[in-house]
Amino acid sequence: MAECTIAGVSTATAAAPQPGQPSASRPRLLVRLFRAATSSIVATSISQVTLIGLLWWGASPALASAVAFVAGAIPNYFLARSWAWGRKGKPQVTRELMPYFAVIGAAGLASVGLTTVAGWITEPLQISGFVRIIVLDVAFLTSYALVFILKFALLDRLVFAGGTRTRAATSRS
């Protein structure tokens, strides 16, 4: 902090960041990344239980992975929106919900697609039972891992851009 006296009044001003020092936005970004990863882990756990249960009961890989993805995506939206990005209040449909569904939909297509392809591959190999469930589950989890960073970047820069602003705060601007 630098201090300046103008007409006998002291004012404190923020000093410019020194070269080599992290900016204030980097810790906030890392906190959002950590929180988004944590909410994604919670969502993935919900998806995993759903996927394994549906596969165990004989559902097709495409159906099981689609239902499992939706089962995790719904709580992930609310958890990530409020905890990772600090959003409160009613979401704006065109500014937040539609872009969120576009980003999440693309991630969902990746996970359903990869799991479906794994199902097609395992079918002629006569892999069945628990081993097939494990193979399909690994395909499902791999797709989540592959798209997480891209999904985080899109959510951070497009969907929830601006960090912790709430709808009420942005509507006054």
- Determine what percent of the chain is predicted with pLDDT higher than 70: 78
Q: Model confidence over 51-101: pLDDT tens digits? A: 999 999 999 999 999 999 999 999 998 998 888 888 888 888 888 888 888
pLDDT digits (tens, 9 = 90+) for 138-156: 888 888 888 888 888 888 8
The sign of the dihedral angle between the CA atoms of 102, 25, 79, 116 is positive
- In angstroms, the CA 76 to CA 68 distance is 12
